[in-house]
Every structure is written in structure tokens, then in C-alpha cells.
Amino acid sequence: MPSLHPMYRGISANFVRGGATVLENAAHGSVEERNFEKTPIFYLLSRGERTGRWILAKGEGLDYPQLAEFALAGGTDHLVSLCEFPNELALRGLGFSLTSDAPGGFSDDQLAIVKALVPALGLAAYRVAVSKTATEILAVYTGARTSARILAGETQRGTGGSINAAILLADLRNFTALTEVYQPGEIVEFLNEHFELIDRHVEENSGEILKFMGDSVLAIFPTDADDPQKACMAALASAKNLLKATEELNRERTGNGGPNIGVDVVLHLGEVFYGNVGARGRLDFTVIGRAVNEASRLEKLCGTLEQPLLMSESFATTCAVPCQYLGSFELRGVSKRAEVFRLADAAE
């Protein structure tokens, strides 16, 4: 079946008599996708037909690599049936293939059984595809943890609650100036490269990106009530890894004549509201609160202090690593002065 997943063009389930079922995802740009035009399914689609049969024992269809492989394995007959899904979805339908190794191929009775089976199989596959697509696409746009809460029924404005979390806010340095120099397509490519790095290192440490805001990223690491240090260490590991990965990316990009794009990261620990915010018919499942505002204001100090990684007092005193005190600073819109820290150098 085709897929709406941004990483995969389609999914197939392959099974052989006496063996296990194997699920395979064909990534966009993969060999499987590039070779799709060399398949019986593409042949039927291009001709507007819904069924096709190739008697392998008579040498039919052997110009298709897959059918030639089946014939070498003893296949004698190959049958393909297509089932269309409702056209309001980008999921076009189901391709169902059967290969026989019987000496005479499929009998008339077997062909009749397959013909009767396909509509029911298509309905079942459609139900699976819609459910799977809704779950996967929601996770792509909101994150796995958030999508699970939405699918569990938290869909009304105001639903949610207060949680304690380590907050990671990452912002691309001087990125606005690049929009004056580079074309929109190039700008998007730069953003995607950095967002990919940030997402990879946030996710591998059990964090979740909640929002892309222009050239900024907001991620959270919910804390365990008995061990808030664990979330802080996860957020810190993400920050250190993504900064290192950014240096490597910049070396590669500048080596090819591209720009050096730094990343400023702020780590904070505090209470936030995690839930649905917005209009009744247009919601955003996100975090808001004083801690989020403080993290945003702290990020502005990265450039002032010439530090790519800053930590709030609550974060620095909770994480289990040596930190250096940088001073007390006023934050716009925040009544209390912020005590700001950075990681201590090894020599210190």
C-alpha cells in the first residue's frame, strides 16, 4: 500500500508458505521507489486495469525482475489484483499479488476465490491504512508523546495540566541575515539540516520537540517527580550532542562554500502547562507558562555573553555537572533577575 508518511513512499507485507511475514517500508528516493515502474502493479495502473495474470511457466512476465525471481524459485503463475480506496485520500489503494508454484498454476476455483476475497481484503486494508496514517501523521506533526494524548481523547481547548519539565530552546544564530543573501529554497534546506540534527539528539534522549518557531525549536523533557535530575541530564546530553553535530555540519557546509550557522541553546527547568491552547476549532497542543517565557528571554543572552549554551539557576543546580556562574541579569518581561550559568571548563 502507498503511505502518507514523510519518510516512506509505501509499505509491503511479504509472506511465503511456511515462513514469517516480513514488513518492508520503501523510503522516498529508495531503490524500491525508483524501480516501481518495473513492476506489474505499475503496468496495471498505467493502463487503468485492475487485474493481471502472468503464467510464469510459459515465460510470461519474465521481463519484470520480481517475476523473473519468482520463476527461478519455482513459481508457475502470478496474479495481481488492485483495490482502489476512496479518492478523497492520497492513499490510492491496495496491490495484492499471489504467486503459485503448482504445476498448472491457479485453478478456476482458486481464481474465483481470490476475486471474491479482494473487496473484503481491500476494506480491511483501508481500515488499517486510515488508522495507521492518522496515528503516524499526527505523531509527525505533534510528536509521539503528544499525539498519544490527543488520540486518547485530549482534544478540547483547555484540557491538559501542569507538569515539571526540562526545557530546551535552540535558536539559529544570525539566521535572519541569511535570508537577505540566499534564496528561499536554500534557506529551507539550511533549516531542515539543523532541525534534523536537533530532532535526532532530542529524541535519542527521550525528549520531544513541541514546536518549530521560525528558526527556533522548543523541546521538553518531562521530569520524574522523584528524580528531576534525570530529565536535566537528558536535556544536557541533547544540547552537547547537537552543538557538536552542528560544528561538524558547519565544517562540511563551509568546505563547500556555504554559510557557517551557529546554534544557541538554553536549558531551563520549571513548571509549564502542557495541553490544548487556541481557538475552539484550531488548537495547538503545546507548553506555555512562565518557564517557557523565561527560557525565551534567556536565549537572547547567548549572543550578549558569547556563549552557545546557557543554563538557568534551576537547571544548573539540578543537573549533576560542574557549572560556572556568569552573573545576574534582567530579562524583559520577567520581574525576577535571572541567575545564569554555563558549563565549567574541564580545567576549572
What length is written for the chain? Answer: 348
Q: Residue 346: its pLDDT value, please?
A: 57
CATH number at residue 199: 3.30.70.1230
Q: Which 3 state secondary structure label does DSSP give 157?
A: coil
Q: Find the mean pLDDT for residues 172-191.
A: 91
Phi and psi at 347, nearest 5°, equal: -70, -25
User: Is-contact 151 135, C-beta < 8 A?
Assistant: yes
| Residue 348: inside a domain | no
Same domain, 17 and 106: yes
The confidence score (pLDDT) of residue 348 equals 54
Per the structure, the complete domain to which residue 179 belongs is given by 158-343
Q: Domain count of the chain?
A: 2
Domain identity same for 123 and 197: no
Amino acid at 79: L
Q: Which of 3-7, 113-117, 267-271, 316-320 has the lowest mean pLDDT?
A: 3-7
Are 114 and 84 contained in the same domain? yes
Residues 178 and 137 in one domain: no
Last residue of a domain, one of 116, 142, 168: 142
Could you tell me the maximum CA-CA distance found in the chain, to the nearest angstrom? 85
- Output the pLDDT for position 324: 93
Where is the domain boundary, 108, 142, 176? Answer: 142
pLDDT of 34 strictly over 70: yes
Distance CA 323, CA 303 (A): 19
The per-residue pLDDT for range 212-245, each reduced to its tens digit, is: 988 999 999 999 878 899 999 999 999 999 999 9
Residues 233 and 291 in one domain: yes
pLDDT above 70: residue 347: no
Evaluate whether residue 148 is within a structural domain.
no
Please name the residues in contact with 263: beta carbons below 8 A apart, sequence gap of 6 or more: 170, 171, 172, 173, 194, 198, 242, 243, 246, 308
pTM strictly above 0.85: no
pLDDT of res. 88: 66
Helix-helix angle 228-255:184-203, to 10 degrees? 140
Is residue 78, in this structure, part of any structural domain at all?
Answer: yes
Q: Look at residue 105 and tell me if it is in a domain.
A: yes
Report the alpha-carbon distance of residue 305 to residue 336 in Å, rounded: 19
Q: Is residue 175 located within the same domain as residue 136?
A: no
Distance CA 97, CA 84 (A): 15
Give yes or no: residues 232 and 85 share one domain. no
Look over the chain and give the mean of its residue pLDDT values, rounded to a whole number: 90
- 242-281 pLDDT, tens digit per residue, is 999 999 999 999 999 999 999 999 999 999 999 999 998 8
Q: Among residues 176, 219, 182, which one has the least CA distance to residue 201?
A: 219
Q: Is the pLDDT of residue 199 over 90?
A: yes
Q: Are 180 and 96 members of one domain? A: no
